Chains A and B, each alone.
Chain A
């Protein structure tokens, strides 16, 4: 992915979006460089999730454009685009009818990986997330604690090693100790994987802990709090 180093992996230019008459985003501009981790903070309803959905083309902007890897999302095939983007939701959304391993290996399965390779990949990722596969691979989601589920969610998002990772309030629903633990864990993993990360949260501490750069989303615009560390 070194060839992406010099270009912006994600860039939003003059993006506005509204639900009916309710303006959510208004002339929003920001860019995210390769390998960078950007955290957007905002109160609920500030349009945090909308920004993420615009990036993986679950939504299209009403004006302006969203570029991913230099290409407008309107021109991307939505399926191909989403396969390049890992997504971690606050509610995790693990598939209750699949085991932990099957959840993690799902995108590789969609991508047509052979069974052995996706199994090995799932086990590696579970290991990385601190869930020994021997113990966790065959469990059902309902048999996990909240923190364990969230770890599986992150592992699932990372399964095909996507260049971009979107995280929507990833650790918001957890108790403070588990949250702290996962943040530390995530920082460790980030050092390994160097994905480009865009994360939205309403929690300032989380934003500063996980973002190289922190932007505040307010009245449809974003203001960055401090200069990027990686630039």
Chain B
């Protein structure tokens, strides 16, 4: 029921996501077919070329999809966030089934039929078009069908790099720990796969030799062309970002999406046009995106920027941190605007009942339980210099088991459900209250300050001075309580991000 009302209230967004999803899958499958078909013919006719070709396609298939996106991200021309790179990745995945089934379909043709064609004086081209391809067609369509279905599934991952599609709901749902939102994206994707499977297996059956009905070929062609036209035409709307818009990005957790939306609405209130690229994979993807000009602005945290992005020594003094940030970013053509107010430091969190019964109030208190407890972290905290390794060193902690590393958004749930006992979370997380967690005090001042600051491309600031004015309006206006409240509104009360932000702006910055 919640799901239905979610769909109804988000129907426009849902339609756009479905269309974008189709756009990604159809384009990638179409291009993969255009490449894979000749490659499959080559593989069948010249096994010496074909074998390495198939091996290469098989290897591409084995690369995990997120890793593949990561590899492609820094490449010139195809790299950068957005649909282009997602289509490239999807093409790589679609190639193998298409090449393989084309080659298999050609190889399985009765040799007597080929002999007859050659003996009757067909040129190799006539043999290919009049005999081999028509006979291999059902097998080729089967390959395209598999490629399409795999593509529909894999395209959900594309949301991680800002390509959009139904994966956005899945990622959003993960970050909100809301299974309704996950299902809101997962169910249409599954339905889409089922429908594609149904249509293409029907086409496949229709095309098997000797089952053709003359009248069927035309409607199939017309229907396919119409569908392609709709989606390709629809896809045109997703082309390059319009030159007069500001592209706002964010990382892929609730607070970041809220802050991205906040920047966007602040600009829109001043009549500026904004393109949202929210829910990008993480700090590194956002950093890469803003450096490559794919996005114009996003909110970063001072500590994260210094340690994780700029690889500079940790700086405990907030003002000194901001100064060295401004210097380092300035050299790359990026400007650091005034902090928004709150400090989203890492917080070591435990279950409230544990804190009570075991008397835990500081991180040092963890020494009492380190022999039995199991920590759990998000991927970034596990890797970063200002993360897990430094924490162990500073506090001389020795946990019984290595940490469980998982999606940041799942960590809170894992703690509440006792899969792990202590986690590193965000001090501003709305889930702290909702899941009844307690924050341990950083008594050795290990964590540097994590003040939220808008990072903006200097070129954009120069071109549009009103951007700086708009963002400065937000300076110091968002307290930790404000942030926690907005996070809780989204994560716990399942309120719409855009509505939460516009309510906040109406109250805080009436104009």
| Chain B nearest Cβ from A115, distance in angstroms | 14
Interface of B is mostly: helix
Q: Which residue of B lies closest to A141 (CB)?
A: B210
Choice from B120, B130, B131 contacting A87 with Cβ under 8 Å = B120
Is B126 in contact with chain A by the CB < 8 A criterion? yes
Which one, B107-115, B141-149, B324-332, is touching chain A?
B107-115
A82 touches B209 (CB 8 A): no
- The answer, among B114, B121, B135, for a CB contact under 8 Å with A96, is B135
Does B123 have its Cβ within 8 Å of any Cβ on chain A?
Answer: yes
A43 to B135, CA, bound (A): 34
| Cβ < 8 Å to B, chain A residues 109-144 | 110, 140-143
Contact A93 B115 (CB under 8 A): yes
Whether the Cβ atoms of B126 and A95 lie closer than 8 Å is no
Nearest A residue to B116 by beta-carbon distance? A93
Task: State whether the Cβ of B499 lies closer than 8 Å to any Cβ in chain A.
Answer: no
Residues A93 and B113 in contact, CB atoms below 8 Å apart = yes
| The one of A56, A58, A110, A166 that contacts B122, using a Cβ cutoff of 8 Å | A110
Q: How long is the Cα–Cα vector from A80 to B110 in the complex, in angstroms? A: 25
**A151 interface residue per 8 A CB criterion:** no
B112 touching A110, Cβ below 8 Å: no
* B121 lies within 8 A of A82 (CB): yes
Closest approach, in angstroms, between the C-beta of B417 and any C-beta of chain A?
Answer: 59
Residue of A nearest to B122 (CB): A110
By the criterion CB–CB under 8 Å, are B120 and A82 in contact? yes
Contact B116 A58, beta carbon cutoff 8 Å? no
Does chain A have a CB within 8 A of B316? no
Assess whether A96 is in contact with B210, with CB atoms less than 8 Å apart: yes
Tell me the complex Cα distance, A17–B113, Å. 25
Mask, A52-92, CB within 8 Å of B = 1, is 00001010000000000000000000111111010101011
Cα separation A83 to B130 with both chains bound (whole Å): 16
Given that A89-B112, A96-B209, A97-B210 are known contacts, is A56 also in contact with B119, CB under 8 Å in the complex? yes
Judging by beta carbons under 8 Å apart, are B110 and A140 in contact? Answer: no
Chain B residues within an 8 Å CB radius of A140: 209-210
B122: chain A residues within 8 A (beta carbon): 79, 110
Give every chain B residue within 8 A of A83 (Cβ-Cβ): 120-121
B134–A106 CB distance below 8 A: no
Task: Using A92-B112, A92-B116, A93-B115 as known contacts, say yes or no to A110 and B134 having CB atoms under 8 A apart.
Answer: no
- Which of B110, B134, B210, B212 has most chain A Cβ within 10 Å? B210
Q: How far is the CB of A196 from chain B (nearest CB, A)?
A: 16
Within the assembled complex, what's the spacing in Å between the Cα atoms of A92 and B115? 10
Contact B110 A93 (CB under 8 A): yes
A91-107: CB near B (< 8 Å → 1, else 0) gives 11111110000000011
A142 partner, pick from B114, B115, B210, beta carbons under 8 A = B210
Closest to B124 in A: A79
B432-488: which have CB < 8 Å to A?
Answer: none
Indicate if the CB atoms of B134 and A97 lie closer than 8 Å.
yes
Q: What range describes how many residues of B lie at the interface?
A: 20 to 34
Shortest Cβ distance from A111 into B: residue: B121
Are B119 and A95 in contact, CB atoms less than 8 angstroms apart?
Answer: no
Interface size on A, residues (CB 8 A): 28
A142-B124 Cα distance, complex, nearest whole Å? 25
Question: How near does chain A come to B440, taking the closest CB pair, in angstroms?
Answer: 73
Residues on the B chain within 8 Å of A78, using CB? 121
Nearest 3 CB-CB pairings of A with B:
A93-B116, A82-B121, A91-B112
Give A126-174 interface residues, CB cut-off 8 Å to B: 140-143, 156-157, 166
Contact, CB under 8 Å: A79 / B116: no
Contacts of A106 in B (CB 8 A): 120, 130
Q: For the complex, give the distance between the alpha carbons of A42 and B374 in Å.
A: 83
Which one of B115, B121, B212 lies within 8 Å of A110 (CB-CB)? Answer: B121
**Given contacts A93-B110, A95-B113, A87 and B119 within 8 Å (CB-CB):** yes
Q: A92-B112, A95-B116, A106-B120 are in contact. List 15 more A-B contacts (CB 8 A).
A: A82-B118, A82-B120, A83-B121, A85-B121, A87-B120, A89-B116, A93-B115, A93-B117, A97-B134, A97-B210, A106-B130, A110-B121, A110-B122, A141-B210, A166-B119
Considering the chains assembled together, what is the distance between the CA atoms of A156 and B121 in angstroms?
12
Report 21 cross-chain contacts, Cβ distance below 8 Å, ordered by A residue.
A58-B119, A79-B122, A80-B121, A83-B121, A85-B119, A87-B119, A87-B120, A89-B116, A93-B110, A93-B113, A93-B114, A93-B116, A95-B135, A96-B113, A96-B209, A96-B210, A106-B130, A107-B120, A110-B121, A110-B122, A143-B210
B113 touching A79, Cβ below 8 Å: no
Of the listed residues B114, B119, B122, the one surrounded by the most CB atoms of chain A closer than 10 A to its CB is B119
Distance (Å) between the CB of A122 and the closest chain B CB? 14
Tell me, rounded to whole Å, the shortest Cβ–Cβ distance linking B498 to chain A: 55
Scoring A82, A95, A140, A166 by chain B CB atoms within 10 A of each residue's CB, the highest score goes to A95
Which residues of A are found within 8 Å of B130, using beta-carbon distances?
Answer: 106
Instruction: Give complex CA distance A141, B131 in Å.
Output: 14
A11 CA to B130 CA, complexed, in Å: 33
Q: In the complex, A140 Cα to B110 Cα: how many Å?
A: 16
Q: How many angstroms from the CA of A85 to the CA of B118 in the assembled complex? A: 12
CB contact under 8 A between A87 and B116, given known A79-B121, A107-B121, A110-B122: yes
Chain B 93-116 interface mask (CB, 8 Å, partner A; 1/0)? 000000000000000001011111
With both chains docked as a complex, state the minimum distance between the C-beta of A69 and any C-beta of chain B, in angstroms. 15
Expressed in whole angstroms, the Cα–Cα distance for A157 and B71 within the complex equals 57
Give the chain B neighbours of A141 by CB distance below 8 A. 210
Question: Within the complex, what minimum Cβ distance (angstroms) separates B386 from chain A?
Answer: 66
Q: Is the Cβ of A97 less than 8 Å from the Cβ of B209?
A: yes
Please report the C-alpha to C-alpha distance between residue A81 and residue B118 in the assembled complex, in whole angstroms. 11
